[in-house]
Structure 1
């Protein structure tokens, strides 16, 4: 956390990010419950809705990489936060004034996904301009703690809104958080800019498509990190986004319980983020592969425990969050340290592109599993999440994925 105080830039970025993520996690809890309610917990329909929600990443993730490497980072972040604030107000109006329709809900969420695809590469590419390379792991750990603390507060705010006000009040809270984030970003000094490349939409898409094969041939450790994460996202996203909320809602029969469970999961990630550098003095690509398998195994154990003992379920879910923090920090640190200076933004956009495509496919996979497994969807999806990284771990025992960062 001390690394985030190194410069005024890191302080402003981290403060704005804390407000933005707090509102975002409250929004995600409200959005998940809204989708489950509107579809009457139909997993098939929910999976299709989430597939379309993440579809814009096909176009906007490569564009986000170009913006991170070529545009003014401060202006990009400011414009995105303001636009997201307007969308949050649209969600508030949709639920307060009109009768929410699934198509409208998914349509606005697709725009939110597009903006997030532009935001993430620029935000992550800002820090290498502000701190030394050997400080990036500590900075990423601090950012992870901030994100995880926000992921505790956000669902708790959602629960408070449900109990004291209304579900739609959460969207208004999100809008206010984005206003504060925009103010923090406005105080930033512009980051240094590398040699600019002319914007060519078709070339950006072609470059994004070709960079996967280039990465596989020229940067095997980073390819392993991104490839394994993409595969795991095909199962993890639907589990976290709607299968876990739907299972908790059905089991505990309370919308507020969804917020409490997400806050417990986030509490584990906060502890994991704080202890990351103590457990992992060095970050390697192979660590990402191992932690993904452990993450899936714990999530599967939590799904089984939910059927028998509530307290055991909650304990294991805390551990899921703890290991999840290790996964997130190791991924980001590997991308920053294994990328060449002029490719940081591009590689983050590639990571976000492939991961979000995994998110989109995750919805379709969950729908198919629901058709086959019915009420056991939670157990089967977490089992596949556990199995998914096994092959990467078997391949990853060689030195090509053990580059120290």
Structure 2
């Protein structure tokens, strides 16, 4: 299938620019009721979209259901024609690319999907999508510790030459991208909107940086809003682009678990960072570990599963700061009795007073100092915990 599609395209062509080609791809990919599986069947049978559109109804109906054949051959609606013109204008801007199933630049790992997207709209560097990669996903409402872990692992993996893939959501995703930008591996954001939109808008500055120094990719046409149904579809692309998926924090019913399940179905590695048995955002990770995901404490736990990839074979590529489990014994002052009493599990102010033997006002004042210094975190419910 991969060879047949690419052989049909122009040799060496890496992105679609010809206006008629763009119009034909959009007409095929956006035909009402026609999904990626149908598009792939038609391309495999007849070649590129212009060849598909030149077939008779009977010829197409011999490959796909007749209702889909009719939808493909129907005259383009005014909205589709307008979309084609907007897309051509978008492609004229620097750093904007439209990569198709027939292009050499199409990421081959996406062919592992039963429904690879016919079109990929990319802002940034398309080459990043072919780089060996690890996805980092997790809770939007992540704790401060979760965001720190996501950024630290994102940076360390990127420093090893691995691209960091995530979904541009708040919380873990945004932190992972920020870490990925700090290394040579770079970072790829897979979004659930059109390439001309940023969702959530809080990540606008991050998205601009990703477009300049990384890559943003989506299968959705320009103008597409962030519909709830888009994000499970986005998750399959995250899972397929990566060689493994690391879940940092997740509730029991988290979209990150969907990404992990899709990754496992594709034969990718699944990793999970454990947490406190009292923390709701650790339960999803613990569930994955019980189901066979690899428990991760340090970078090496991920790298040893990636050893077949040549990019991480050099021993000096492993940053020392995450090459072994972190030792917290001397972190932020071992002699501080309140820090010692705080621990890494959530705890109430009353419990801290009891553990430390200090008065509530003294404990509250010291907790504020620890929060400002980045050594402690206030959680919902007026709970506190120590940060690594």
- Whether TM exceeds 0.5 here: the answer is no
Shorter-chain TM-score tier: under 0.3
TM-score normalised by the chain length of structure 1: 0.26
Q: TM-score, normalised by structure 2?
A: 0.27
**Larger-gyration structure (1/2):** 2
- From the two aligned structures, give the one with the greater strand fraction: 2
Which structure exhibits the higher relative contact order, with contacts defined as CA atoms closer than 8 Å and separated by 6 or more residues?
1
